[in-house]
C-alpha cells in the first residue's frame, strides 16, 4: 500500500509542479506576443490551474497516508514543518488563483491576469520549496 501511495504522491507532484512550470514558461512566451493575442492565449492557459489543484489534492491525500510512520517523530523533523507550511501556503495560493481565474475569464477580466501571473510564479517557488524540504526531511 505504501508503494501505491508513493506513486500517487509523485504523480501529484508531477501534475502540480509541472502545471506551475508550464504556466511560467507559457507566460514568458506570451510576453513576446501582441497584447490582444497574449490575453487570448493566457485566458486559455488558465485551465492549468485545474491540473495544479488536482495534483495538490493527490499530494495531500497520499501525503497523509505516507505520514503514518512519522507522526510520532514530528518534533524531530523541522523540515517537515516547513514543508507542511509551504503546502498550506500553496493551497491558499491556488485557491486565490482559481478565484481570479474565474473572474479573468469573464468579459473585462483582463485586470486579473497580472495577478494570476504573479501568483503563478509564487506557486512555482512554493512547489520547489516543498520538494527541497521533502528531500531534507526524508534523506
pLDDT by residue (tens digit) across 57-77? 999 999 888 888 777 777 788
pLDDT average, residue stretch 7-11: 92
Residue 88: its pLDDT value, please?
Answer: 92
What value, to the nearest 5°, has the Cα angle with vertex 110 and ends 30 and 107?
125
From residue 81, give the alpha-carbon distance in Å to each of 38, 72, 132: 39, 13, 13
Predicted confidence at residue 137, as pLDDT, reads: 85
pLDDT band at 117, cuts 50/70/90? confident
Q: Cell numbers at residue 132, please?
A: 527541497
Q: What is the pTM of this model?
A: 0.84
Task: Give the number of other CB atoms < 10 A from CB of residue 93.
Answer: 20
The CATH number of domain 2-138 is 1.20.120: yes
User: What pLDDT is stored for residue 26 in this prediction?
Assistant: 85
3-class SS letters over 82-94: HHHHHHHHHHHHH
The answer to whether residue 8 scores a pLDDT higher than 90 is yes
Cα angle 51-17-60, degrees, rounded to a multiple of 5: 75
Total Cβ atoms within 10 A of residue 83: 22
**Other C-beta atoms lying within 10 Å of the C-beta of residue 31:** 10
- For 8-12, 68-72, 84-88, which range has the lowest pLDDT when averaged over its residues? 68-72
Other C-beta atoms lying within 10 Å of the C-beta of residue 139: 6
- Contact between 96 and 119 (Cβ < 8 Å): yes
> Residue ranges per domain, the chain?
2-138
- Could you tell me which residues come within 8 angstroms of residue 130 by beta carbon, excluding any fewer than 6 positions away? 83, 86, 87, 90
123 versus 1: which is more confidently predicted?
A: 123
Say yes or no to pLDDT of 86 above 90: yes
How confident is the model at residue 41, as a pLDDT? 82
Amino acid at each position: 500500500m505504501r508503494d501505491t501511495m508513493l506513486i500517487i504522491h509523485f504523480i501529484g507532484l508531477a501534475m502540480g509542479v509541472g502545471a506551475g512550470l508550464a504556466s511560467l514558461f507559457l507566460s514568458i512566451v506570451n510576453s513576446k506576443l501582441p497584447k490582444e493575442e497574449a490575453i487570448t492565449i493566457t485566458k486559455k492557459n488558465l485551465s492549468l490551474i485545474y491540473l495544479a489543484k488536482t495534483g495538490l489534492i493527490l499530494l495531500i491525500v497520499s501525503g497523509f497516508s505516507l505520514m503514518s510512520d512519522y507522526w510520532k517523530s514530528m518534533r524531530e523533523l523541522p523540515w517537515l514543518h516547513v514543508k507542511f507550511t509551504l503546502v498550506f501556503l500553496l493551497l491558499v495560493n491556488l485557491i486565490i488563483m482559481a478565484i481570479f481565474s474565474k473572474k479573468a475569464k469573464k468579459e473585462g477580466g483582463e485586470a486579473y491576469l497580472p495577478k494570476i501571473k504573479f501568483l503563478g510564479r509564487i506557486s512555482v517557488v512554493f512547489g520547489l520549496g516543498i520538494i527541497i524540504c521533502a528531500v531534507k526531511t526524508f534523506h
